[in-house]
Amino acid sequence: MGPSYYLAFVFALWAVGIYCLATKRNMLRMIFGLEIMINAANLSFISLATGVPGFVDPLAHSIVIVSIGLSGGVSAVAITLVVYAYRQYGTLDIRELKRLRG
């Protein structure tokens, strides 16, 4: 399988993430969607790391490792915010959080 298949999968994964963000009401599910999007990018790095046959570029892998760490940080902050939002609004439905508009 060439990298183009992987890339198609990457974009599909990215689209899944966006779809998730746009349609899901549960804030936790939205965080999952975010993770999916980040993982799509990670997958893209991995799949493109073998540009030269027989050689795997360690740069891509190190990037992916760092990126996973960063996404963990983002998730942690996001989950903290979800907890606070739940305390204040009493719901996890994102569409109930609409005080800021106009």
Residues making contact with another protein (CB under 8 A): 3, 10, 14, 17-18, 21-25, 27, 30, 34, 37-38, 40-42, 44-45, 47-48, 51, 57-63, 66-67, 70, 73-74, 77-78, 81-82, 84-85, 88-89, 94-95, 97-102
Answer whether 20's CB lies under 8 Å from 36's CB. yes
Q: Smallest gap, in angstroms, from Cβ of residue 50 to another protein?
A: 10
Q: Smallest gap, in angstroms, from Cβ of residue 1 to another protein?
A: 15
Termini Cα distance of the chain: 49
Q: Smallest gap, in angstroms, from Cβ of residue 47 to another protein?
A: 8
Radius of gyration of the CA atoms of the chain, in A: 17
Q: Smallest gap, in angstroms, from Cβ of residue 36 to another protein?
A: 9
* Displacement of CA 43 from its chain's centroid (Å): 11
Taking the least distance from each CB to another protein, the nearer of 5 and 97 is 97
Answer whether 31's CB lies under 8 Å from 78's CB. yes
Coil, strand or helix at 42: helix
